[in-house]
Amino acid sequence: AKTPVNVTVTGAAGQIGYALLFRIASGAMLGPDTPVRLRLLEIPQGVKAAEGTAMELADCAFPLLAGIDIHDDPRAGFDGANVALLVGARPRGPGMERADLLEANGGIFKPQGEAINAVAADDVKVLVVGNPANTNALIAASNAPDVPKDRFTAMTRLDHNRALSQLSARADVPVSAIRRVTIWGNHSASQYPDIFHADVAGRPGAELAADESWLLEDFVPTVAKRGAAIIAARGASSAASAASGAIDHVRDWVLGTPAGDWTSAGIWSDGSYGVPEGLVSSFPVTSAGDGWQIVQGLEHGELSRARIDASVAELVEERDAVRALGLI
């Protein structure tokens, strides 16, 4: 039998955790032949609820679930982690400025980066879901000097999937017939969902994008502000769709992206497309199971270039703010 993969999930008692853990344990993330050992990391107030979730996980009798343990200390929670899903974060409270938010999250992601550096497995792969995801990933990566930077990623897969869904409805084709959509930049309202290089059931995405009023007044803001629309409708933020995006991200990272397609992920920039090195920005990426590669050689018109630059400028501001706070 294969050795179980250790998967650490932070914020395990939260609403995304509740939607995520059962799918990991069922094999949806790492495939039907890979047993998993779940390590749930919570803050002390979350431990009791995490114990309840662990009871339910046990009650599912998942054949692939090799064990569950619960921790409130990052050094124990990340011990031997092969995959780490950093979901728990500090939400923006009323009247909280961006600097306060970044500082509060720095208090979570700096020690978690240090713990990953100290105790995770050599092959650890990290996905940050907790917001502000890109900058939280930057903080964690910067505090884990012994772990290669390309192992720290931030989730824009939910945005990517939202773009596929909106495009599918617009073009009246199934999502499975759409390829090569990209989310660029920050997982925030400044993100740029790019369909200029897409293949929409054989039709060039640029043809759909030519309707600029639809593109700029409907498609782009619908994707970028979908999180707020879900909160308005559901009275709670996206949870199952966020968990599904996290499953897709890790599955494609580990098992590979389909031939002829790519996906979107926030990764440590190597300077591609003029994104300053060392920012965690969303790019078009492929994986053959051995790490993310940025898709090269895409040409951008003025519209796309300006949108990408604006989102990247926001990432620069966030980086400068966490640098000023001594978090990186």
Least spacing, CB of residue 172 vs ligand NAI, in Å: 26
End-to-end CA distance of the chain: 41
Contact by Cβ (8 Å): 20, 85: yes
Nearer to ligand NAI, 84 or 242 (CB): 242
User: Cβ 231 to ligand NAI, closest distance in Å?
Assistant: 10
Residue 191, annotated as binding a ligand: no
In the numeric block, the tokens 């020690």 are attached to 111
- Which residues are catalytically annotated? 187
Which residues does 321 contact at the CB level (< 8 Å), separation at least 6? Answer: 98, 99, 102
30-50 exposure pattern, b = at least 16 Cβ within 10 A, e = fewer: beeebbbbbbbbbeeebbeeb
Q: CB-wise, 45 or 296, nearer to ligand NAI?
A: 45
Q: Which is nearer to ligand NAI, 132 or 284 (CB)?
A: 132
Is 92 one of the annotated binding-site residues?
A: yes
Q: Is 151 annotated as a binding residue?
A: no
Edge-to-edge strand ranges of the sheet holding 199-200: 178-179, 199-200, 203-204
Whose Cβ is closer to ligand NAI: residue 142's or residue 241's? 241
Instruction: In angstroms, give the least distance from the CB of 93 to ligand NAI.
Output: 12
Interacting residue ranges for ligand NAI, rule: CB under 6 A: 10-11, 13-17, 41-43, 46, 87-89, 91, 108, 129-131, 133, 155, 158, 187, 237-239, 242
3 state DSSP class of 299: coil
- The residue at minimum Cβ distance from ligand NAI is 14
**Of 186, 194, 188, 187, whose CA–CA distance to 219 is shortest?**
194
**Pairing assessment for the beta strands 125-128 and 152-154 based on DSSP bridges:** parallel
Q: Give the residue ranges of the annotated binding site.
A: 11-17, 92, 98, 105, 112, 129-131, 162
- In the annotated binding site for NAD(+), the residues are 11-17, 105, 112, 129-131
Please report, in range form, the residues annotated as the binding site for substrate. Answer: 92, 98, 131, 162
